Amino acid sequence: MIFQVAQEEGLPVLDVFTPYQKYLDEQGPNTLNVRGVHVDSIPKKYQSWLKSRTFLHKSRKRTYMQVRADDNRLDPILGKHKEWFADRHPNLAGYHLIGLETVRYLLKDLRK
């Protein structure tokens, strides 16, 4: 619908979804996403080791301690928790891809 409206109105479209989805299809569904899990879900033996990645998470429904990560380094330890991959927000690599696609799009006009 976005492309249809843009075409009807003669507007350009910056499509970051297509390259983002292509990357996820090629590299895996969680490669560009933030990860997180309740501290209480983690075995006690890992909790002190993960303290530097732990923060207070506040939502409208509740407040709790959470371990967060912007990459896959903790996947072997925490990936078994379904919640670990639930957050669909981009991680640093995801934002990098969005920024790169934005620059590629803008360069066409900037070079003119």
What pTM, to 2 d.p., does this model score? 0.79
Position 25 scores a pLDDT of 97
DSSP code for 33? B
Domains of the chain, by residue range, sit at 14-32+90-112, 34-87
Q: Name the pLDDT band for 100 (thresholds 50, 70, 90).
A: very high
Burial 73-84 (b: 16+ CB within 10 A, else e): ebeebbeebeeb
Cβ neighbours of residue 109 closer than 8 Å, sequence gap 6 or more: none
Q: What is the pLDDT of residues 1-58, one digit of tens each?
A: 999 999 999 999 999 999 999 999 999 999 999 999 999 888 888 888 898 899 898 8
